[in-house]
A and B are shown apart, each in its own frame.
Chain A
Amino acid sequence: MIKKTFHGGYYFNCEDKPREKVIESVLPPMVVIPLKQGFGREVKPLVTVGDKVKAGQIIGRDDHGVSSPVHASINGNVERITKLKYSTGPINAVIITADSNPDWQPLAGNNRNWQLLSLEKIETLLYSSGATSLDSKGIPTRFKTSSNVGRDVSDLIIQGIEDRPYNLSLPALLAGERCTHFIEGIKILQKIMPRANIHLAINRNRREIKRELIQKTEDLKWLTFYSLPPRYPQGNDRVLAATILGKRDRKTVDAEGIAVLSVGTVLNVHDAVVEGKPVIETIIALCGPGWKENINIRVRVGTPIETITGIYLDQTNSNWMIIPNNPLTSGALADFSLPVDRTITSLTAVSKNIKVQRPWSLLSAISPLKGRGCSPNIYDEVKPCIFCGYCEEICPAGIIPHLIDKYARRNIISNELIRYGIFECVECNLCSYICPSKIPVARHIKLGQQRLIEYGFTEPEAGLKEDTVEKYCLGQEG
């Protein structure tokens, strides 16, 4: 067991974390299946209005682009095909009305003795189950499912670090026989990525799970076990790769050949290959003060969020906002009719009513810097930077966010920005989170990067060409 850590970061100290148990949710009367879920492109629908579909049936696929198939998650009829308004743009979705049959149709070719399956067979199973679209870069197979190529993966990192303010808890995921399933999943992944060093990084505070995993993986010589502190953003792909593989500069960490997968994805890999179960269910942690109970629920993919809120949300106060997944990298949902897709692992409900923090609430004021509470981002005013240095202190990339922010927001786009490491940013948004002046630092950094690329910046090494900078400066004056 190897212990490592990184510079910077922040321990969240949120209450209202879900209990460590998974509860089966009711079957929804209707599901909305977006035709793009997770990594990859949108796929074309294979069904038309009125078709009868079975749970687990592939209703959309596109074998030519980087994508993965989409499944019906419930038995029923296709009602219509419509466009969903996501903040990133519209996505087509298939709406299915359900009958009350909870069965699902397994994938062809699965085998309990998966060691007997050929490599090609396993990759086909993974691809057709949809598991390859999970996590930020997907699982590499011989289909175009990831920016990596399976055979060339040199390092596979499996993370269960629980570094976010609210996480899907490991004990809930790995309860009972799921732990064995998880290890089977790792073995399957090892088979499809034969050249990879496999690293398993687990939250160091989960003693029992660590003990169990170490006990069960003793005979696996190719597996390295890491025990990492649950400090945000340790689970971020770039931070994790840099922590585990040693200090490397940005280019090597971003380069192809490193795959980062979460514990839940590995379980999906097991289910697809051993049980033939496509990704039609997902476990969601209901976090924050807004829910009647903080629990983990297992729901069908495509369940509209309003169905979940209808059952589990505390209705006495109607003013809740719901943030999907990591509250630091995503904002509140505007539309509760959007469905739960494969990628959603948690829904955080917080009250909109806290407008501005009262400065005299003494108890929270006295508590030290680490481990204060958090509140929804409804601050109405951005104040000037007071150089408190918190953003520099917590930045996992080792840059000075407020310095870059100063240049970027005044639109001073020059080589200075590159020199101060604007492209080192790992986009964890921790600087925006911690800023007492409520400056959207991370957004300004992102805008600065986009501005640099607009002005002809291509390689981190080269910087902007001198004449570009001069031309730009002249334009500024005029």
Chain B
Amino acid sequence: MNKPEQNLNIKMQKETQVAYKPLLKSIGSFFVSPGDGTRLVPGLVDNLSTKRYMFLVVLALLPIALAAVYFYGWRIVAMILVSYFFGGMTEILFAVFRKKRFQADGLLVTCLIFPLILPPTLPLWIVAIGSVFAVFFGKEVFGGTGRNIFNPAVVGRVFITVSFPSYMTSVWQHPMPGGFGGFFNYGADLITSATPLISYRAGEIITYTYYDLIFGLAPGSMGETFRIGIILSGLFLIVTGVSNWRVPLAYLGSVVLFSSIGHYYFPNQVALPMFQLLTGGLLFGAFFMATDPITSPFTGPGKWVFGLLLGMLTVLFRSFSGSVEGVVFSILLMNAFTPLIDTIVLKIRFRPLGREGLSHNVP
């Protein structure tokens, strides 16, 4: 019997006592034996912890971050570090304030996704503000990882879009392909151009081929342009079981469906499905942000509905709204509807107790 275990027993007791005070008094000694032995049931648990779960997402994001450095220079690393530093400080302050332990699991992902959906020329002070806002209002005010309603990275991105519109709409940098690309550059040469989506909304002729779009040769947010990498990383997450295949499939499928219908009726506003898929943050959003398990429905049918509505909203925002930020706005909006979707699915799946007696439908 060594010391850490003893502490563990006390901790477990405290944790459960809050919730089950009266019951625990009667059967407490059954579950937590007084004195010796951990006696935790089950005796063995799976190796997967939340830390490793989140680390898998970071692992999947690394190639995308590396591609961003290649296309836009070392400034991207500076942006990621700033994002981690300020997001981490916010998390630590909150942990101190609430007298809870600092948990880095959610932060690892949030503060990496956040800079990847920003334009490459964004000043570092805006990155810092956005990161603080994302962690503070996106996550901590709800009680930390696992309790948040909105995807923190999306909250930060939308906040910046709304607060600093001039930085977000006009200053887009052209990627630097060829040779070592951005590996020998710190950052912007200030050759700015519009993203394909903005050009389309402005009615200009698009000069980029699908090849350019897939391999990241068109301007856009840092992490969103290297689309072949995004698809591979997204599939990696699905294969390892971290993200569910339903949401990306429903999302992308519904974008194809609604943009085909829309293009038929409004050819000037709604772009073709292939163009929709390969521009903006759609792929990144579908594989990395909409799949966030905390802010998307946990029921299977709910995931389909979630993806379907996301696709519809994205096409609507992109085609008919004043801004082209279709993906982040639709994810933010659908996050708010997540509990409602789940509730409805559960109402249908588990019938109320009836006289016939069956309390539950086994699928």
Contact = CB atoms under 8 A, between A and B. Distances in A.
Given A365-B55, A419-B350, A447-B20, A432 B357 contact: no
B286 to A, nearest CB: 18
B244 A389 contact: yes
Contact of B350 (A335, A397, A402, A421): A421
A419 B145 contact: no
A437 interface: yes
A292 interface: no
A405 B324 CA distance: 41
Contact of B38 (A247, A331, A383, A400): A331
B43 A372 contact: no
A443 interface: yes
Given A443-B31, A460-B357, A323 B294 contact: no
Contacts of B143: 384
Contact of A436 (B20, B52, B240, B244): B52
Contacts of B144: 384
A437 B362 CA distance: 26
Interface in B260-283: none
Interface string B24-50: 000100110101111111111111111
B341 to A, nearest CB: 13
Instruction: Describe A's contact surface by its main secondary structure.
Output: loop
A381 interface: yes
A452 B169 CA distance: 57
A362 B52 CA distance: 9
B190 interface: no
A350 B240 CA distance: 26
Contacts of B15: 382
B34 to A, nearest CB: 11
Contacts of A389: 244, 293, 298
A213 interface: no
A469 to B, nearest CB: 12
B214 interface: no
Nearest to A323: B43
Most chain A CB inside 10 Å of its own CB: which residue of B35, B43, B105, B351: B43
Contact of B45 (A7, A379, A419): A379
A383 B103 contact: yes
B48 A355 contact: no
Interface in B57-111: 59, 101, 103, 105
Nearest to A432: B42
A165 B47 CA distance: 14
A454 B38 CA distance: 28
Interface stretch (B4-12, B120-128, B153-161): B4-12
Interface string A1-17: 00000010000000000
A383 B105 contact: yes
B346 A403 contact: yes
A402 B294 CA distance: 12
Nearest to A385: B146
Interface stretch (A57-65, A298-306, A407-415): A407-415
B53 A388 contact: yes
A153 interface: no
Contacts of A87: 30, 33, 39
Contacts of B36: 334-335
A331 B42 contact: yes
A436 B43 contact: no
A418 B47 contact: no
Nearest to B58: A359
Interface in B163-189: none
B162 interface: no
Interface in A74-88: 87-88
Interface string B239-267: 11110100000000000000000000000
Contacts of B33: 87, 334
Given A88-B30, A377-B44, A415 B146 contact: no
Contacts of A90: none
A367 to B, nearest CB: 8
Interface in B220-235: none
Contacts of B40: 331-332, 377-378, 440
Given A359-B52, A365-B56, A389-B244, A331 B43 contact: yes
A333 B53 CA distance: 30
Contacts of B37: 331-335
B47 A357 contact: yes
Contacts of A352: 2, 5
Nearest to B352: A419
B8 to A, nearest CB: 5
Contacts of A435: 45-46
A373 B105 contact: no
B140 to A, nearest CB: 13
Contact of A332 (B43, B244, B355): B43
A330 B55 CA distance: 30
B360 A357 contact: no
A357 B359 contact: no
Given A333-B37, A383-B103, A383-B105, A374 B47 contact: yes
Nearest to B105: A383
B348 interface: no
A450 B22 CA distance: 12
A301 B158 CA distance: 68
A44 to B, nearest CB: 26
Contacts of B41: 329-331, 377, 429, 432, 440, 442-443
Given A374-B47, A419-B350, A461-B353, 11 more contacts: A331-B42, A334-B36, A369-B240, A383-B145, A384-B145, A387-B293, A388-B242, A392-B298, A419-B353, A461-B359, A463-B353
Interface of B: 2, 4-5, 7-8, 11, 15, 19-20, 23, 27, 30-31, 33, 35-56, 59, 101, 103, 105, 143-147, 239-242, 244, 293-294, 298-299, 346, 350-353, 355-360, 362-363
6 cross-chain pairs, A with B, having the tightest CB-CB distances, nearest first: A334-B37, A384-B146, A369-B241, A461-B357, A421-B360, A323-B43
Interface of A: 7, 87-88, 165, 247, 249, 319, 321, 323, 327-335, 348, 350, 352, 355-357, 359-360, 362, 364-370, 372-390, 392, 397-400, 402-403, 409-411, 415, 418-421, 423-424, 429, 432-438, 440, 442-443, 447, 450-451, 454, 460-463
22 contacts: A247-B362, A319-B2, A321-B38, A323-B43, A328-B44, A331-B37, A331-B41, A334-B33, A334-B36, A355-B4, A357-B49, A369-B241, A372-B47, A372-B48, A373-B47, A376-B43, A388-B293, A433-B45, A434-B46, A436-B50, A461-B356, A462-B353
